[in-house]
Amino acid sequence: MNAQLGFAALAYLLFASSDAAVKLLTARYDPLQLLGTMALANLLPVAVVVYFEGGWRSLRPKRPGLVALRIVTAFGGGIFGFHALANLPLADFYALTFLAPVVAIFAARLILRERADARAWLAVAVGFAGVLAVLQPAGMAPSVGHLSALAAMLFAAGALLVLRWIGPVETRGTLACAVAVGIAALTLPTFPWIYRPPSPGDLAMMVGCGILTGCAQIALVHTLKKAPVASVAPFQFTMLFWGMVFGYLVFDQLPHPAAIAGAVMIVSANLLVLLRRET
């Protein structure tokens, strides 16, 4: 189980790295262009996984309706998330989207009938308190960016739930490929109206973000095949630490002392999940 949770921590590190780059790119490019270009780049790591899982014949979904729902959650989360990243500091963005694990665990309890033990609930509570500590200095004045982040959070919670639901029956290649192809199909028709030719450096960054998110998605699917949502979801809180690091290194944003205290609480919450025994 510890190895599976290590994949979750890796997935969220890759997501955070991509978010920092996307925040830079949203100042110059439409979110639809970024999402479509990254989706095409996703296919590079997906092709490697497909090769080792039996080739393209293994991609036929067993539950096409739920796979389509997974595409919708990824597309919605991407569009709203990119818009929020363009208008919010990383700390504000993560503070809101980190509500997703709480929503996912409640939903998994109600819909999937998964059992979350006392330590898992304690981890969620401590992590959520850490998010509030980070959020407090920001003041959280209502804005379109905050609403976009809340919408992205709901789509992220839905994605966690859908992945846990169909992860045991669908291959990693099927899910990752479906998301990449589905998002490309939804975004590429808009390119004649929103496309802006990127510089070589920006294009390399877009492709790099696509490869990172593709690898992260594969790692997350691999984890959710064997671990319940209650164990995996709190690891999203580690992105807050990486957001602080990237915020300082890339955007010259020093974390508030309360944010540092919140990050310590969030790390503690993840340790509770990592060290807890399965019952």
Q: Tens digit of pLDDT for each residue in 79-112?
A: 999 998 888 778 778 777 777 766 666 666 666 5
The lowest-confidence range among 87-91, 136-140, 161-165, 248-252 is 136-140
What's the whole-model pTM score?
0.76
The lowest-confidence range among 43-47, 91-95, 184-188 is 91-95
Q: Is the pLDDT of residue 191 over 50?
A: yes
CA of 255: how far to CAs of 14, 27, 80, 244, in Å? 21, 22, 25, 6
pLDDT value, residue 277 = 43
Q: pLDDT band for 249, please (50, 70, 90 cuts).
A: confident
Q: Are 176 and 217 in contact (CB under 8 A)?
A: yes
Pick the more confident residue, 254 or 71. 71
Nearest residue to 15 (alpha-carbon basis) of 274, 255, 245, 242? 242
Average pLDDT over residues 23-38: 92
Highest mean pLDDT among 160-169, 202-211, 221-230, 239-248: 202-211
Q: Are 34 and 200 in contact (CB under 8 A)?
A: no
